[in-house]
Every structure is written in C-alpha cells, then in structure tokens.
Amino acid sequence: MDPVREGQVAIDPWSSKAIKDYRRLMETFGIRRIEEIYPLLEKNGMPKSLHMVRGIVFGQRDLDKVLEAKARGENVAILTGFMPSGRFHFGHKLTVDQLIYFQRNGFKVFVVIADAEAYSVRKIGREEAIRIGIEEYIANMIALGLDPKETTFYFQTNRGTAYYRLIQLFSGKVTMSEMEAIYGEVNPAKVVSALTQAADILHIQLEEYGGYKWVVVPVGIDQDPHIRLSRDLADRLSRDLKLVRPASTYHKLQRGLDGDKMSSSRPDSTIFLTDPPEIARSKLMKALTGGRATAEEQRRLGGVPEECTKFDMDLYHLLTSNEELSRIYNDCRGGKILCGECKLYSWRKLEKFLEEHQKKLEKAKDLAWKIVEAPSF
Ligand code: TRP
Ligand code: SF4
C-alpha cells in the first residue's frame, strides 16, 4: 500500500495506521471545527451531543448548510454504512450513537450494509455477509436504540435501478490516476467499492429514494477521501443531474485496548457488544493504561488518562455523566486512584451495559431479519 500524500499528511481509508494529528489533517483538507455550527444547533432546538461536547466529534463540512435547510423546514437525512465483515464492537457503537442523536433530532436515517464491498474487497462469503449484516450490525443498532421505524436499512447488492445507474454514470467521471491519488494502490474491487459508496451517499437525493437533498455522513477522518469523491461526483454530474454536495461530520477513532487500532480482526484488544461478561472483563482488566510502574509512583506523580485506553472506554461510552468523567480524570491525574480499582469501577458500568444490551439483542435479531430485505444470492 502506498498512500498518496497531500502536503505531508496521508489519509488512506484502507490503512490500519492510527491517525494522530487531527488538526493538521483538518487544515490540509478544509474540514471546519464542529464548534462553528453550535449556533445553528441552537437555532434548530438541538442540544450538543455528548460526543461533540467531549471533543470526539470534532469536525464537519457543510453541516451549516444542512442545519440551515432544517431550520427552513426542509427534510434532512444522515447516512452511513458498515462492511459486514466482523463482529460489532465499540468503535461501531460510536458511529451509531451519532445516528441516534441525529435521529432523535429529526433526521431521517439510512444505513447501508456494504455487502458488495465485503465480498469483493474482504472476500467474505455471501451467506456470511448477509447473516453478519443482519444479526451483528442491524440487530446491534436496534438494540442500541436506533428506531427501526425511522431507519432505512439496505444491502448494497439489493437496492434498485436508479442507484445502480448512478454507479454506471460515475464510472465515466473519474480517472484511474484520480483513484490512485485518493487510495494509493487500486484494483477493480476498490474502484467499484468506491463508486458504490459514492452512490450510497448520493442516491438518497433521487426522488425514487425520498429526494433527501441535505445529507450528512458521519465518518472517521480516515474515510474522508470517500467524502471528497462523493462531493466531486455531485459536481461532475451537474449537466445531467442536480445533486447537492453531501455534508459530513468527523470523529476521532477510538483506539483498541492495546493502544493500537480497534478492529474486529484484533479481538483481544477490542470489546464486542456480544462478548460474554467474563471475556469483556478480562479484556478490560488487561487494557493498556496511563498508569505508572509502581503504586508509590502513581500516588506521587499521578496517572495519564490521555494515554489510557480504559479511560477511552469511559470517555467514549461508559461514563455518560460529565461530572463523573471529570472526577475519574482528576483522581487519576492527582494520583488519588490506582489503575486496578479504577478499572473495576468501569467494569461495573460495562457489565451493566452489556447485560442490558444483550437482553435487548435477542429480540432485535428477530426484528432485524424482518425489516430488511436480504439479497437472494
Ligand atoms: N466503506 C465503508 C467501510 O469500510 C462502508 C460504507 C459503504 C459506507 N457505503 C458507505 C460508509 C457510505 C459511509 C457511507 O466500512
Ligand atoms: Fe487509566 Fe484509571 Fe489508571 Fe488513570 S487510574 S491510568 S484512568 S486506569
């Protein structure tokens, strides 16, 4: 893989490198700060989301336009996709939390199961991709609180003529060197997947799919090349089709419990929402912390929550009260708490969460099979 560089900063949606310097990336790619849209949230009577307040959702493009349209009473939507290639983990939950936030604030939600991409890029079998798409992804999303009545779920291989027509039209609007400039090394699977993803993002603007002109796509910053491609394609089709450039929000990527990228393919450092409690517990208790070598040192110097992957779990998911989060942060910094007891505290939150979530999941699985049409092969 040879990710192409723009300036000094490389973004490659298929690379597994954790991305560190968000501010630099933002400047390079013209992403604006999330804080800039706060007045427009207020204008729409929307609270800031917990992840915005905590700096996890940190950037956006054109979200101001979407919120202005919403304030005028126009329909707005949020769309994202998941490749059904592994188990649903807390990194996925972060995106779903954002879908739920926008849904509760009047956005129509679209979720695409990227089974075509899973098949061609990840070599996942068809039956497996369909089962994982429904039982892992859709079911977990419903159990987390995404309202299935207000959400359209679909499979990439099972959508409809106008959607596929877009992919065909797009193919004439990009060059190989452009694809390479975005992705580094490309092959047919990646080209088709990129164009399919652009169709995912843009097709809901078509009357056939609801005519949603104002669409937000919440992504990790590593997925930004896809957003830029969709925006360019919207412009390039303008002779034949009026498409509005999609908006986007950007969130930090939660690290795995070893400090490296969180991924389904690294199950020891990734907590899945279906992990049996004793397994989740042992993963959490082994998490890389920002603690010191000895208890004495920790009491004297304090820990470093910024380096602690257990604190990430608190920050992203487990502690929904800001006061509680600050208390842990300050106790850690001030050396008032040691990692063992601190982990146990979070474990109790995680245990409760998993227990309640997994209870909802069984029902959600049955429902998931009913609300999406599975591809026939
Ligand atoms: N490519 C995404 C992934 O790697 C999945 C995806 C498909 C997607 N279509 C999308 C994401 C549209 C956002 C918007 O998981
Ligand atoms: Fe992490 Fe808690 Fe240890 Fe601080 S005290 S480094 S937050 S586990």
Residue bearing tokens 């899945």: 272
Residues 130 and 139: beta-carbon distance below 8 Å: no
Asked whether 184 lines ligand 2 (CB < 6 A), one says no
> What pLDDT score does 29 carry?
81
Residue 145 gets the label, from left (phi > 0), alpha (psi -120 to 50) or beta, of left
β-pair partners for 138: none
β-pair partners for 81: 112
- Reported as type and span, the H/E element at residue 231 is helix 224-236
Among the bound ligands, name the one nearest to the CA of residue 246: 1
Parts of the chain with a pLDDT under 50: 1-18
> What pLDDT score does 2 carry?
28
> How far lies 341's CA from each of 259, 306, 336, 345, in Å?
20, 18, 11, 6
* Distance, CA of 370 to CA of 347 (rounded, Å): 34
Residue bearing tokens 């109790």: 348
> What pLDDT score does 246 carry?
98
> What pLDDT score does 52 carry?
97
Pocket test of ligand 2: the residue of 257, 284, 285, 289 to mutate, having most ligand atoms within 8 Å of its CB, is: 289
Q: Domains, the chain, ranges and CATH? A: 4-256 (3.40.50.620), 267-365 (1.10.240.10)
β-pair partners for 6: 9
* Distance, CA of 30 to CA of 12 (rounded, Å): 17
Residues 276 and 328: beta-carbon distance below 8 Å: no
> What pLDDT score does 182 carry?
65
Task: Give helix 277-285 / helix 339-371 axis angle, nearest 10°.
Answer: 140
Q: Which pTM value belongs to this model?
A: 0.93
Asked whether 51 lines ligand 2 (CB < 6 A), one says no
Q: What SS3 state is found at 272?
A: strand
- Ligand 1 centroid–CA 198 distance in Å is 9
> What pLDDT score does 5 carry?
32
pLDDT digit string, tens, across residues 73-83: 999 999 999 99
Alpha helix segments (H runs only) across 72-136: 90-104, 115-120, 126-131
> What pLDDT score does 17 carry?
47
